[in-house]
Amino acid sequence: MQTILNRCGAALLMALGALPAYAGVASSVPAKIAASALINNSVAAAGSPLTYSTQVPLSAGGTYYVYVKVQPGAFNGVPNAAAVFTSSNAALQTALQGATAASLSADGSFAVYTLAALSTTVPVDAAITFAPQGIAGNDGSIDDLAALVNGGVVSAQISIGSRASTATVLADIDSAAGGNIIIFEGQPVPVNACNIALQTGYWWNPAEPGRGYFLEQQANTIYFAAFMYAASGRATWYQASGQLVATGAATGPVCTFTDALYAYANGQTLSGPYVAPTIPTVVGGVTISFLDAAHATAQWPGATVNIQRYPIVAGGLGSGPSAAQPQTGFWWNPAEAGRGYGLEIQANTVYYAAFMYDGSGNPIWYLAGPGAVSAQGTYMGALAQYANGQTLSGSFQSPVVANASVGSTTLQFSSPASGMMTLPNGTQIPLQRFSFLPAGISPTVSVTLAGDGSGTVTSNPAEMNCGTPCTEQYAQYALGTGVTLTATPASGSAFGGWNGACTGTGACVLTAGANLQVGATFTSAASNAVVVTVTGPGTVTSAPAAIRCTQTGGASCSGAYSNGVSVLLLAAPNVDGSTFGGWSGDCASAGTAATCTLSATRAFEVQALFYPATTIFAN
C-alpha cells in the first residue's frame, strides 16, 4: 500500500459559524430566488385562464401565501379565492378554497391569499388554475392583468411562499424583472435540479496524489473543501459552498456549482482553547462541473483539475453504508466553530482529516487512518502532518511526511451521527454531524411509480404512502434520518424492483442527505420487469421500446414485458467522447459489449457503467 498521503488527503471546513448566504436568501428579509420558483410562469391573453404548477413539494401542515399582482385598479375588493383558484390536487384544492384574501397595496394592484393549512404534502407538478372573473376594473376582477413584459404581452405574476409581509413583498414583486416568479425565505427545499445524488467523501486526481478534496451534498447544497500546500510548503486548506445548478445539456456536465474559494486564519489549534477564526479572504472563484455522481472537473485561478471519488480500500466505493456505522460527511463540535473534521467510512474502514490552525494562526490539516472501527464503535489512530506538496495553482510535487505522529486520537461513536473525540492532550470534545443547510430546509426523498401493474410504496418514518392514483411523491427528512421504503404490490401484480438510489427487490434503506430519487416498478401477472440503473454519461435503450434510461433515472429506467419476450438492451455513450465501461447484474455475462439480450421469463436487474471523456477516470 502506498503511504497514507499518496492514497488520499485531508479535508477542511470553513469557519463554521460564518457560512455564506444561501443562494440569495437574506438573513432578515424575504428575498427573490428566481432560479427555484415554487410556481412556474404562464402567459395568456386577457380573459383566459392561466395554469401554473408547483415546482417543489409543499409541506403538510405548512401555511402558504399566494401573491397576485395585477394592473392598478383591477382590484375593487379582492376576488374570493374560491372563485378564481382551483387545483386537481385534493389537498391543495381544499387549501385554496379555504383561503382568505387581502389587498397589500393602497391602489389594489397587489393581493395576498393565505391558504388554509395543507392536510398532506403536495407533490411537484400539482396544477393550479387561475380563472379571471368579469370585466377589468369592475367587480374586483383580475382578468385585465398587468402588461409586465415583452412590450405589452399580458401575463399573470403569481408566487407562492411561506411568509406574509407587506412592504418587503411589494418591493420584491414590483422590482421583478421580466415577470419572474418570486419565492421567499422559509420556502420548502428546492428539488435537486441536477437529479443526481453526488457521492459524499474524499475525491482526488490519481495523477496528483498528495492533495485532495472532501465534498458533501445536503439537499441541493454543496460543501467543498480542498487540502493542499502553501508556497512555503506548509499544509493549508480552502473552502467553498453553494447551490447545484442544472446545465440542461444533452452531453457533458450534468450540473455545476460556483462560489468564492475562501481561506481562513487565526482560529483554534489542535490542543488550544477556543478561538474564533478571523474573517476569511477570497483567493479566487471555484467552479465544479459534475459529469456524474463520482466524476467532475474543478476550476480555480491557475488550474483545471479532473477529480473523481477516492477508494480508501479496494472495492470500498461499492461497499455501501450500513445503518449502524458512523455517517460519512463533515463533523464538528458546535461550541468550537471554525475547526472541524471530514470523516469517511468505507467497508468499516475510517479515514478522517482534522482541519484547524497552527500556533501562528495559519490553517493546517492533519490526517488519520485508514483504520478499522471496532465492534464497540471505536477508532484509534495517530494524526500525521505533511508538507512541501502541490500548491493551489502549481505543478505536481510529491509531499513529504513532516511529522508521522503529531499525537494519538480516539473516536468513540455513540450513534451514527454523534460521538466523542479524545485529543492528544487527553481533552475530550463531543462531535456531531455538521448540517450546513439553511433553517427550514431539509433533504428530500422522492418516489416515482412505473410499470403496467399497481402497488404502493410506503416509508418509515411514515411520511409517504404512494399508490394509485399517485405516480410521484416527495417527503422531507432531517439530515441523517434513516428512511426505509417498502413496496407492496396490489393483488394480481408483482414488484419488479427499484431503480435510482436503490436497487434490488427488498426494502430500500436510505440515509437523508442529498436529495434522493427512487423508482419503483410494478408489473401485471402476465409480464416481467426489466429494471436498469445507469452510472455515468450514457443511455440504455430497449427493443421492444420501453426503456430509455440515463443517470438521472426516472420511470423510463424500467419496462414491463410479456412473459418470454426477447428484450434487447443497447448501451450508448454520450457523443462527447465518453466510453462504455460494461454491464453488471443480470447482463454481467455481456461484459463490455454494446448490447445485452434477455428473455423476460422473470424480473431482471441490470446496471450499466459509462466513463466520462477523460483518460484519468478509467479503472
CATH of the domain at 148: 2.60.40
The full 3-state SS of 392-437, as one line of letters, equals CCCCCCCCEEEEEEEEEEEEEEEECCEEEEECCCCCEEEEEECCCC
Q: Could you tell me if 140 and 257 lie in one domain?
A: no
pTM over cut 0.95: no
Task: Specify if 24 maps to a domain.
Answer: no
Is 169 a domain residue?
A: yes
Q: What is the predicted pLDDT for the residue at 139?
A: 28
The pLDDT, as a whole number, for residue 268 is: 95
Place of cell 427493443: 543
Given a contact cutoff of 8 angstroms between Cβ atoms, the answer to whether 449 and 487 are in contact is no
Show the low-confidence residues of the chain (pLDDT under 50): 1-47, 70-77, 107, 133-192, 615-619
CB-based contact 579:561 (threshold 8 Å) = no
Bridge partners (DSSP) listed for residue 100: 114
From 416, 433, 450, give the residue that closes a domain.
433
**Distance between CA atoms of residues 320 and 504, nearest Å:** 14
The answer to whether position 394 is within a domain reads yes
Q: What sign for the dihedral angle of Cα 114, 120, 125, 126?
A: negative
pLDDT at 250: 64
- Last-in-domain residue among 110, 139, 174: 174
Same-domain check for residues 119 and 245: no
Q: How far is CA 428 from the centre of its chain?
A: 33
Residue 184 maps to a domain: no
Domain-embedded: residue 50: yes
Considering the domain architecture, whether residues 449 and 331 belong to the same structural domain is answered as no
| Tally of domains within the chain | 4
* Residue 189 in domain: no
Please, what is the average pLDDT of the chain?
75
Domain membership of residue 186 (yes or no) is: no
CATH number of the domain bearing residue 459:
2.60.40.1140
- Tell me what pLDDT residue 19 has: 24
The confidence score (pLDDT) of residue 43 equals: 33
Query: Does a structural domain hold residue 334?
Result: yes
Same domain, 510 and 532: no
- pLDDT one-digit tens code per residue, 431-471: 999 998 865 577 888 888 888 888 999 988 887 888 766 66
Residues 12, 40, single domain; the answer is: no
CB atoms within 10 A of CB 587: 24
Q: Are residues 47 and 152 in the same domain?
A: yes
| 252 shares a domain with 377 | yes
- Per-residue confidence (pLDDT) for residue 194, from 0 to 100: 67
How far apart (Å, rounded) are the C-alpha atoms in residues 97 and 82? 5
**Domain limits at 214?**
4-17+194-433
Tell whether 520 and 533 lie within a shared domain: no
- Indicate the residue among 412, 433, 454 that finishes a domain: 433
Query: What pLDDT sits at residue 8?
Result: 24
Burial class (CB in 10 A: 0-12, 13-18, 19+), 335: exposed
Is residue 512 domain-shared with residue 565, that is, in the same domain? no
- Are 220 and 291 within one domain? yes
Check whether residue 417 and residue 513 sit in a common domain: no
pLDDT, residue 469, reads: 61
Residues 6 or more apart from 9 whose CB is under 8 A from it? 202, 204, 209, 210, 211, 212, 213, 227, 228, 353, 367, 386
Same domain, 265 and 327: yes
